Structure 1
């Protein structure tokens, strides 16, 4: 039950943040997406849904790219001419 709450809360929040026009809010999507991943893994492994485990690995990689882009190597906007 806790895994389902974690998936819904953190997963929906991450998806919602990806669609924000405000870049300051958008950068938090990857954080909440990464927080949701252990809940996905636990739920998928407990129910032997190996396709979801594989998909969770891919999503984790994608959220890590966002983390790198927003937090490790911040995106610098190009100067306007």
Structure 2
């Protein structure tokens, strides 16, 4: 139950922020997206949904790209 709540809250927040017109808010989308990933991995593995489990790696990679672009690379400039 906690897994589903965390996925719902973090996932919806990530999508909502990713569509914000302000970059200052959009940059937080990847943080919420990354926060939901452990719950996605756990839920799909536990349910035996191995195709979705594999997709979780692609989603996590995408959120990491955003994290790198908004937080790591930007901070080093």
- The TM-score range, normalised by the shorter chain, is over 0.9
CA RMSD of aligned residues (A): 1.1
Provide the residue aligned with 1:43 in structure 2.
43
Q: How many residues are matched?
A: 75
Uncovered stretches (5+) of structure 1, i.e. residues with no partner: 76-81
Uncovered stretches (5+) of structure 2, i.e. residues with no partner: none
Larger Rg: 1
Q: TM-score, normalised by structure 2?
A: 0.94
Distance in 2 separating the partners of 1:10 and 1:29: 9
Q: Which has the higher helix share?
A: 2
Counterparts of 1:62-77 in structure 2 under 5 Å?
62-74=62-74
- Secondary structure of the structure 2 residue equivalent to 1:73: helix
Provide the residue aligned with 2:55 in structure 1.
55
Q: TM-score, normalised by structure 1?
A: 0.90
